[in-house]
């Protein structure tokens, strides 16, 4: 079965026309005539223009215009844009009560899970611990030393294994006994989940001799 390109090329050669000669007669670029004969449709203008080219070529080659048009319509490919058209604007998501309810529910779920996750992190994280007293390498001249600082309100505090009361705001203040040879104060804050935060301070104990 002959195609439109083969048909026009065959008839052009029968008439002993070169591409340039036919171009001069039809006022169509020689490259366009060649693309039609090779059926390189992607290199040609839109279909109505190609249709005009084929009519003009058929006229100058004294061909049956109806036959040429029938072959062209049969062989010319459908437009790719018709295969994959752009989505219509009407297909876009429209805001409605059902969508608003769904979005609201999702938002609440995200907030709840976010809150629970935050609480979980707080529960499993070690408590904060700030130690204000004693200072590093503090000199101690008596058998008791003040220990002061701040932690989480629900945490417990032990200093050298001696418990100290934690106030409602998380602050703590107490005194522990020290002896000659005590070199450090170890403060341990422990959360309800059993997580610990530890601060160690060096001290210099220099107790005077008793009479």
Banded model confidence at residue 87, pLDDT cuts 50, 70, 90: low
User: Quick one: pLDDT at residue 91?
Assistant: 53
Is residue 32 predicted with pLDDT exceeding 90? yes
pLDDT tens digit string along 134-153?
A: 999 988 888 889 999 999 99
* pLDDT score for 210: 47
For 4-78, CATH number out of 3.10.20.520, 1.10.260.40, 1.20.1440.230, 3.40.50.11900 equals: 1.10.260.40
Give per-residue pLDDT as tens, 41-85: 999 999 999 999 999 999 999 999 999 999 999 999 865 444 445
Calculate the dihedral angle through the C-alpha atoms of 37, 50, 2, 30, rounding to the nearest 10 degrees.
-20
Tell me the pLDDT of the chain averaged across its residues.
Answer: 87
Q: Where in the chain is the domain with CATH 1.10.260.40?
A: 4-78
Environment class of 22 (CB within 10 Å of its CB; exposed 0-12, middle 13-18, buried 19+): buried
pLDDT at res. 182: 86
Strand order in the sheet with 162-164: 138-140, 196-205, 184-190, 156-159, 162-164
Q: How far, in Å, CA of 145 to CA of 150, rounded?
A: 17
Which CATH fold would you assign to the domain 129-205? Immunoglobulin-like (2.60.40)
Residues sharing a CB contact under 8 Å with residue 70, sequence separation 6 or more, in sequence order: none
Judged against a pLDDT cut of 70, whether residue 98 lies above it is answered with: yes
For 105-133, how does the pLDDT look when each residue is reduced to its tens digit (9 = 90+)?
999 999 998 988 887 877 778 889 999 99
Q: Please tell me the predicted confidence (pLDDT) of residue 93.
A: 66
pLDDT of 201 over the 50 cut: yes
Distances in whole angstroms, Cα of residue 69 to Cα of each of 25, 62, 167, 176: 20, 14, 97, 108
Question: Which one is predicted more confidently, 111 or 86?
Answer: 111
Residues of the chain with CATH 2.60.40.10: 129-205
CA distances from 72 to 56, 65, 78, 95 (A): 13, 10, 12, 48
- The count of residues in the chain is 211
Burial tier of 175 (Cβ tally within 10 Å: 0-12, 13-18, 19+):
middle
Residue showing tokens 């992607």: 42
């Amino acid at each position: 079965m002959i195609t439109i390109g083969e048909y026009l090329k065959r008839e052009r050669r029968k008439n002993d026309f070169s591409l340039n000669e036919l171009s001069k007669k039809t006022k169509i670029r020689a490259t366009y005539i060649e693309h039609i004969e090779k059926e390189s449709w992607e290199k040609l203008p839109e279909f109505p223009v190609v249709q005009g080219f084929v009519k003009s070529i058929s006229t100058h080659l004294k061909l049956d215009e109806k036959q040429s048009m029938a072959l062209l319509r049969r062989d010319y490919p459908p437009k790719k844009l018709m295969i994959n058209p752009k989505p219509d604007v009407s297909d876009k998501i429209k805001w409605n009560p059902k969508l608003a309810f769904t979005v609201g529910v999702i938002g609440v779920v995200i907030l709840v899970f976010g809150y629970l996750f935050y609480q979980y992190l707080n529960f499993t994280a070690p408590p904060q611990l700030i130690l204000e007293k004693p200072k590093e390498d503090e000199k101690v001249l008596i058998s008791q030393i003040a220990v002061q600082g701040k932690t989480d309100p629900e945490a417990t505090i032990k200093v050298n294994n001696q418990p100290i009361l934690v106030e409602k705001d998380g602050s703590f203040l107490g005194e522990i006994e020290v002896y000659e040879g005590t070199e450090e104060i170890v403060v341990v804050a422990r959360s309800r989940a059993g997580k610990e935060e530890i601060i160690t301070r060096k001290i210099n104990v220099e107790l005077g001799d008793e009479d």
